Amino acid sequence: MERKGPPRSIKLPETIEVFRNLNNAKRFAIDIGGSLTKIAYYSVLSYRRAHYSVDGYSAADDHIYELSESARLHFVKFETKYIERCLDFVKANLVGSRESMIGKIIKATGGGAYKYAAVLQDKLGLKVEKEDEMGCLIKGCNFLLKNITDEAFTYHRHGIPEYEFQTADPNIFPYMLVNIGSGVSILKVESEDSYERIGGTATGGGTFWGLGTLLTKAKEFDELLELAEVGDHRNTDMLVGDIYGGNYKAHGLDSDLIASAFGKICYSTRQGQQINYSDADVARSLLFTISNDIGQIASLYAMIHNLKKVYFGGYFLRNHPLSMHTISFSINYWSKGKVQSLFLRHEGYLGAIGAFLKGAEQCGEHYSWQENYVGSSALEPQPVIWFDNFNKDKVAITQLELDRESQRLFCPLLANPASYIPDTVDLNADEEARNYWLDCFEKSIDKYVDAAMSSQADSETAPERAKQFKEKYIKRLHKLRQQPFAYGNLTVRSLLETIEHYMREFDFPDPYVFTKQSENEAALSQLQERLNYLDSLTPKQREVELIIGLLAGNMFDWGARAVVDIMVNENFGLNEAREKIPGRPWIVDHLDLWLERLKGPPHKQAAIFVDNSGVDIILGILPFTLFLLSRGTNVMLCANSEPALNDVTYKELKVILHQAGIISPKIKEVLDQNRLIAMETAQTGPCLDLSRLDCKLAKKMSSVDLIIIEGMGRAVHTNLDAKFTCESLRAAVIKNKWLAERLGGQIFAVILKYEPPYKP
C-alpha cells in the first residue's frame, strides 16, 4: 500500500487558505474514514489588539496596539485517497513546530487509524495513539452541541425557512446519534460519559456509493447526489397509486408513497409495459431507498429507547438537501411526529473533534469555543482546491476553525433558557428583511473600509488588507444571498459578527479606535455641564430628561448609515440629537410605566448593557447611572470584550469611568465604593447573545433585579422579545428608516420597553 509521496513543491493557491497556521500547530489528531479523512490541530495565534491604559489613549499608532495570543482549533477534511499527499503537505509546512513534534503522539480514530498508523508515524514522526471511534464521535457531538452556535438544525425542503437552526440548549441529553458512514451506527447518549451503541445497519453510505457506481455511470459520491437531485424516482419505484390506482385508504397509505423501491423495473417489464428510466432516476431511487431505510430504523430505535431528538452525522448526508429531506420525512412518518430529526452543520468533523479532545487539556471545561466565520467552510461544500502536483487532481477541502474563548454561560435571568433566541428576526425565513439587510451591509462596506484604513493610516500593508477584506466580505455576502443558511441562522447579529471576524482576520482589530477616542474626550468635556443641567430640573422633569438623554445619546452610532451622514456633515451634539427624538407616543412607549415604577422601592442591583462610545456612554448612560445610584441601586455597566464598530469596549469603559471620576466626585465615590463597576460581556459584536455571557458576569447576574439593555443591536436586533425573571428596561432609537417603518414608525423611532419580572 505504500506509495511514493508527491514532490515537495506542492503549493496551494494563495487565494485559498487551507491548513492555516500549520506553522504554529501544537498538537494533532486524525480521523481516517473509509472515504473522508479529517485532520485536527491546535494552533496558537499572535494578533494585535488595541491597547488602553487608565492614563488615556496613546496617540501613536505604534503604541495603540499590543500583541496578544489566542488559541484556535483547525479541522481540515479531504478524501482519504489524498491522505498521503495531505500529510506530505502538513510535514512540509510544519516548519517551526516540526522539531517539537518528534516523539509526540497523534490521536487517531476511524477505520483507517489501523491501516495508516505506519504512514502517520513515517510522515509526521508522531506516535499513533488509537481512540475508539464511537467514543470520539460522541465526544465530538457533545462538544459541537454545547459550543457551536446554530450547530443543529431541522430541514424542511421547500419550507420557509428551509433550515431551522436550533437555539443553544444548556441541556443536550439524552439524545440519539445516528452516524451514517459506510455503514450506520446508532448510539444512545445519556450524559457526557455515558453512551451505548444500541444498533446499526450495514445499509449506509457505502451501499449508496457502491450500488450507485454499479447502477449508473457516476463514479463519485457527489456525482451520484447530483444525479439523484434531477432524477424522478417514479420511473423506477412502484408507488401505492401504481398498485391501487390511488390511496390505499384502509391503511392510510397515500398514493404517492413508495410501495416497492425499484419495484417498477421488473413489474412493468413483466406486465408488458414499456418503462424508461435514466441514471438519474435510478440514483434518486437509490438515495430514497437508503435514506428511507435509515430514517425508519433510526425512528424505531428512538421509539424503543424513548428518545425525542435524533442527530445525524457521517459522510452519507454531507448536508445534502435531498438526503436530509428523505431522512426527515421518514423519521417523521414512522415516528408519527414523535421524534425530531436534527442535522449538524459540522457532522463531518465529529470523530476528529472527539479524537482531538481526548486528553487535550487546552480544551477543558473552562473554555468556550466560537466558529471562525472566515476560516470555516459553509454548510455546503466549499469550492474545489487544486494541488499543484503531477496528478493534477482536484482535492475538495473543507475546513472548520474554532476560536477558543473564556468560558461562556447562559444569563441566569432568562425566563426560559432552552427556548431563548437572541435574534428578533430570522433572515432565513424573512426574505424581504434578508434582501434589505444584505443590501444594506453591502452598501455600508466602504464606510467600514474607510474606517479600517484610517485606523492604520501609517501602515503600508493596510490598503492591500483593506482591499482583500472588502473582496472577501462582499463574496461572503453574495454567498449568503444564495445560501442564507450557510453559517447557521442568518441574522443581523451574525452579519455584524461576520464583519468583526473579517476585520480581525485582516488585522484591523479596532477600526474606530481613534474615532471612539476623540468622541469620548469630547463627551467627557461636556459631562459636568450635563450633570449640572440635570441637577437644575425638578425630580419629575429629571426622571424624564434622563430617559430622553439616554435615547438621544444612543443616536451616536457609526454602525447606522443614517446617523453617520449626519455626524460627518453636521455639528451634531446631544442637543441636536434630542431634537430628532420623535414626540410621544413612541412605537413602544412604556415611559409612564417606568416613571410609575420609580415611585416604588429602589432596585438593589442593576446591570446596564451599554452601546456606543462618546455621547452615548458618557452623556446618556453615565447620568442615568448616577440617578440609579442616588436611589440606592448598585450598577454594573456591561460592555463588549472586543471592539465592534464604535461600541464602547470593557477596556475603554474602565478608562472612561476613571476619567469621569476625575470630573465628578460623585462618580469617584461610587467607583471607590464598588457600587459602580464595569464588567465585560464576552461579546465581540454589536449585538448581545445572553446565552454566551462571560462566566464572571453570568455569575454576578444572579443578584440583578433590573436589567437595562440599550441600543439597536442589543435591544432591537436581539433581545427585543426576551423574557427575564427580573425587571427589564430596553431603550433604543431606530436609526434605520426601513426597520423603523417596518416597526410602524419613522426614522429615529423610539423603543422604550419596561417589563416586570416574567411570570409564565
Nearest CB to a copy of itself, comparing residues 269 and 673? 269
The cell for 750 is 423610539
In the complex, the smallest distance separating the C-beta of residue 323 from a copy of itself, rounded to whole angstroms, is 16
Phi/psi for 680 (5° steps) reads: -105, 145
Cα–Cα distance for residue pair 624/543, rounded to 1 Å: 9
Residue at grid coordinates 436530509: 324
Nearest CB to a copy of itself, comparing residues 200 and 573? 200
In the complex, the smallest distance separating the C-beta of residue 134 from a copy of itself, rounded to whole angstroms, is 6
Nearest CB to a copy of itself, comparing residues 33 and 686? 33
750: β partners: 733
* First-to-last C-alpha distance (Å) of the chain: 64
In the complex, the smallest distance separating the C-beta of residue 88 from a copy of itself, rounded to whole angstroms, is 17
In the complex, the smallest distance separating the C-beta of residue 193 from a copy of itself, rounded to whole angstroms, is 15
In the complex, the smallest distance separating the C-beta of residue 211 from a copy of itself, rounded to whole angstroms, is 5
Angle at CA 390, nearest 5°, toward 386 and 395? 25
Query: Are the CB atoms for 413 and 719 separated by under 8 Å?
Result: no
Instruction: Name the 3-class secondary structure at 683.
Output: coil
Q: Which residues bind a copy of itself (CB under 8 A)?
A: 1, 3, 34-35, 79-81, 111, 114-115, 132, 134-135, 181-183, 185, 197, 199, 201-207, 209-211, 213-215, 221, 236-238, 243-245, 250-251, 257-267, 269-272, 282, 289, 292-293, 296-297, 300-301, 303-304, 334
Nearest CB to a copy of itself, comparing residues 83 and 486? 83
Nearest CB to a copy of itself, comparing residues 202 and 457? 202
Residue 726: Cβ within 10 Å count? 23
In the complex, the smallest distance separating the C-beta of residue 250 from a copy of itself, rounded to whole angstroms, is 5
Nearest CB to a copy of itself, comparing residues 215 and 677? 215
Nearest CB to a copy of itself, comparing residues 59 and 250? 250
Nearest CB to a copy of itself, comparing residues 44 and 117? 117
Q: What is the maximum span of the chain, computed from C-alpha positions, in angstroms?
A: 99
Nearest CB to a copy of itself, comparing residues 204 and 685? 204
Count the residues in the chain. Answer: 760
Nearest CB to a copy of itself, comparing residues 300 and 360? 300
Cα–Cα distance for residue pair 656/668, rounded to 1 Å: 12
Strand order in the sheet with 127-130: 127-130, 105-109, 25-32, 36-50, 65-79, 398-406, 367-371
Nearest CB to a copy of itself, comparing residues 207 and 684? 207
Query: Are the CB atoms for 515 and 558 separated by under 8 Å?
Result: yes
Computed on alpha carbons and rounded to an integer, the radius of gyration of the chain in Å comes to 29
Residue environment code for 407-431, b if the CB has 16+ CB neighbours within 10 A, otherwise e = bbbbbbbbeebeebbbbbbbbbbbe
Cα–Cα distance for residue pair 271/435, rounded to 1 Å: 53
In the complex, the smallest distance separating the C-beta of residue 2 from a copy of itself, rounded to whole angstroms, is 11
In the complex, the smallest distance separating the C-beta of residue 216 from a copy of itself, rounded to whole angstroms, is 10
Query: Are the CB atoms for 322 and 359 separated by under 8 Å?
Result: no
DSSP 8-state symbol, 378: P
Cα–Cα distance for residue pair 155/452, rounded to 1 Å: 38
In the complex, the smallest distance separating the C-beta of residue 238 from a copy of itself, rounded to whole angstroms, is 6
DSSP 8-state symbol, 132: -
In the complex, the smallest distance separating the C-beta of residue 267 from a copy of itself, rounded to whole angstroms, is 5
In the complex, the smallest distance separating the C-beta of residue 133 from a copy of itself, rounded to whole angstroms, is 8
603: β partners: none
**Among 488, 612, 482, residue whose Cα is nearest residue 554:** 612
In the complex, the smallest distance separating the C-beta of residue 182 from a copy of itself, rounded to whole angstroms, is 4
Q: Where are the alpha helices (DSSP H) in 554-621?
A: 561-569, 574-580, 591-598, 615
Query: Are the CB atoms for 331 and 310 separated by under 8 Å?
Result: yes
30: β partners: 39, 108
Nearest CB to a copy of itself, comparing residues 273 and 674? 273
Query: Are the CB atoms for 347 and 377 separated by under 8 Å?
Result: no
